[in-house]
Structure 1
Amino acid sequence: MGQIDQLFWGSIVLGVCAVIHVGMLTVAIGLLERIAQPLHLHRRSVQVAVMVLVAFAMIVLSHTIQVWFWAGIMIYMDAFVFWFDSLYFALVTYTTVGYGDIVLPIEFRVFGAFGGVTGILCFGISTAFLVSLIGRLLPRSLMGPRD
């Protein structure tokens, strides 16, 4: 695969992952809205715990789907022969750990780097989502005085 092809297909897969992630967060928001009302009958600590756990579970599911998607694409493109190697490489790259014990063939390296870019962007969105959610769930008394 040439450099232009790697840039093109890497951008496409990154874009699909962005759609998956935003879609999953949208589903999470809908789910949180549906469970918020029944939770008003419970203590505040239970409400916060359930809401954060549901959001966290949806985020983990979204990242897991994306790692499997990257692994599947690399198998499909014949960058790897074995699923274990492809999944391991996708996970290590997506999380930007990058051990380097398994590397892509040279004709896929630019393409593979897009997996790391995808992870950075989606982890950033996940962090912003959780910070916003927790900020909205914390009682005003914990947030301190406003200037």
Structure 2
Amino acid sequence: MSAQIAWGSILLGMCSFLHLILIVGWVGALKRQFIERIGFSAFMKTGILIGGTLLLLVVSHTLQIWLWAAVLIWLGALENLPTAIYFSLVTYTTLGYGDVILSDAFKLFGAMASVTGLLNFGISTAFLVAFIGKVLPNNLGD
């Protein structure tokens, strides 16, 4: 039981680190490259900034779901990629249909995927609120 929690926590940490690195990298790239160099109108800049940010967050969450799926297959908890991706997606989003379940040897480990999703969706929400709150007033006033 403690091994499942420990390994699940390690994977949770890896996913959260990946998520934060992508967000920090995106913000840095926006500051260095995009905002200062693109000659679009304020409306277009705002749309591209917010749309690009949403796309980045979707990519980040998708990568995390694939990582959980790959580890579940590697550990032998699930047999094939489609089932592992489905299970990871349903668990990560905390939807939890229950039609695919893990054996007792992996149940706590699998539940850590939902903790990962809760944490990283929370980070995404906080980031979007702050980001949009900063981008909209700065770009729509032009």
Q: TM-score range by the shorter chain?
A: over 0.9
What does the per-residue CA deviation read over 1:18-63, in whole Å, with 9 as the maximum and x for residues that have no partner? 1110111111112221201123x32211111011111111111111
In 1, the alpha carbon distance for the partners of 2:53 and 2:35 equals 12
Structure 2 counterparts to residues 14-33 of structure 1, below 5 A: 14-33=12-31
Identify the residue that residue 134 of structure 2 maps to in structure 1. 136
Separation (CA, whole Å) in 1 of partners of 2:78 and 2:59: 24
Tell me the distance in 1 between the aligned counterparts of 2:57 and 2:136: 20
Q: Superposed, which structure 2 residues align to 1:47-126 within 5 Å?
A: 47-126=45-124
TM-score, normalised by the number of residues in structure 2? 0.93
Q: Structure 1 residue 106: deviation in Å?
A: 1.2
Distance in 2 separating the partners of 1:88 and 1:38: 41
Larger relative CO (CA 8 A, sep 6+): 1 or 2? Answer: 2
Percent sequence identity over aligned pairs: 41
Q: Give me the TM-score of the superposition, normalised by structure 1.
A: 0.90
State the SS of the aligned residue for 1:138. Answer: helix
Aligned to 2:34: 35
Gaps spanning 5+ residues in structure 1: where?
A: 143-147
Amino acid at match of 2:37: P
Which runs of no fewer than 5 residues in structure 2 stay unpaired? none
Q: Give the Cα separation in 1 of the matches to 2:85 and 2:14.
A: 18
Moved over 4 A (4+): none
Structure exhibiting the larger radius of gyration computed from Cα positions: 1
Q: Is the 8 A contact 1:80 1:86 kept in 2?
A: yes
